Amino acid sequence: MSPKAVITGWGKCVPPVELTNQDLEKVMDTNDQWIFERTGIKSRRISHVEGTDLAELAARRALACAGLEPEELDLIVVASTTPELLCPSVAAMVQDRLGAVNAGTFDLNAACSGFVYATANITGMIESGFVKKVLVIGAEKLHIAMDYRDRSTAILFGDGAGAAVYEATEGDAGVLAVDLGADGSMGYTMVFPSLGTRGEPYEARPIEDVRLYFEGQPIFKMAVKGMAASTEKTLERAGLTVDDVDLVIPHQANARIIDAATRRMGIPPEKVFTNIENLGNTAAASIPMAISDAAAAGRLHPGDIVAFPAFGGGITWGTLIMRWGQRTEPVGTHQGELPPTDATVFDLLENNLRFFAPLHGRDSADPII
């Protein structure tokens, strides 16, 4: 019997600077009620450090939780849409900082489905015996791609990182089935136009080509259908039904998407874990951050059947079905924190607001607020 990939450690990193709906009211035509009714979000976080710093701290916390030393890792995988650099990879930089000298590394980009895609990859490696101990990180610094006067995008996304340690184990616990899917023909619905080599990267690009392009309505419909269908397919592969599911920890895209998708699956709200209200949509980081919060809230129990559905740009989707292992409490804790900052949220967003000001009929030299 081949080993299974089971989560033995978890950790997250939440930047300290908060961007509330009330803050957004000062820079765009919106209000708290409008945002919350459409997204379920009250606030999100803006990072004063690089995404690699967030990834490192989440990783250290996950390793401490699992009771592992960095040298014991065989592989580090980072899922991210907003890496600090394309080369070296974020995973390689994290490996160096941790001292995980025996680990291979790579980054993976499947947008908001990144954590599911990364886990599917390492599950196959663990089941084959190629690796035994793996660190998977989701890390995003999404605010760099936002136009904070565009309420169709900026109200949704936040920064953060989450990490999970997977170990090979014998027995019933671990990843039972996976499903991955994509539809590249719909990739135009969510685009980071400036993050790549398209065109002439040595020439200045138009301002409108720097911010995230996002089509909310088609994404909403595809996300609901995609997450529901993927979960049903993965349960069937695992030989399970919806009634067997104890908890759903979905990608935290939008509270309305989560509600519509889980209702479509026939899963009651009490079996669904969300933390989007005060973190926003953190893309590839959202599921591992939610795992940490679910564990802290006592929502994970030995032997639970847990579903992890996700949907992201690309368009991508995927689901993991997992039988939770014996560990529900951390073996240890990491005491480190991010460097402190005295910056306010508008200090951190000042350059962003000035840069995009001309798109909104403003002079970039005008006062920010």
How far is the C-alpha of 131 from the C-alpha of 41, rounded, in Å?
39
**Residue-by-residue DSSP string for 59-75:** HHHHHHHHT--GGG-SE
- pLDDT above 80 (res 203): no
Return the active site residues: 112, 251, 281
The burial class, CB within 10 Å (0-12 / 13-18 / 19+), for 26 is exposed
Tell me if the bond preceding 88 is cis, omega within 30° of 0.
yes
How far is the C-alpha of 231 from the C-alpha of 339, rounded, in Å?
39
Domain range list for the chain:
4-360
Q: Say if CB 240 and CB 176 are below 8 A apart.
A: yes
CB atoms within 10 A of CB 266: 12
Rounded average pLDDT over 91-103: 98
Rounded average pLDDT over 216-222: 85
Q: Say if CB 64 and CB 124 are below 8 A apart.
A: no
Q: Residue 193: pLDDT band by 50, 70, 90 thresholds?
A: confident
Rounded average pLDDT over 45-66: 98
The proportion of the chain whose per-residue pLDDT surpasses 90, expressed as a percent, equals 86
Kindly report, residue by residue over 257-296, the tens digit of the pLDDT.
Answer: 999 999 999 999 999 999 999 999 999 999 999 999 999 9
Q: Say if CB 117 and CB 251 are below 8 A apart.
A: no
Count Cα atoms within 13 angstroms, Cβ side, for 26: 11
Task: Give the pair of three-digit tokens for residue 279.
Answer: 């973190």
Pick the CATH number of 4-360 from 3.40.50.970, 3.40.50.620, 3.40.47.10, 3.40.50.300: 3.40.47.10
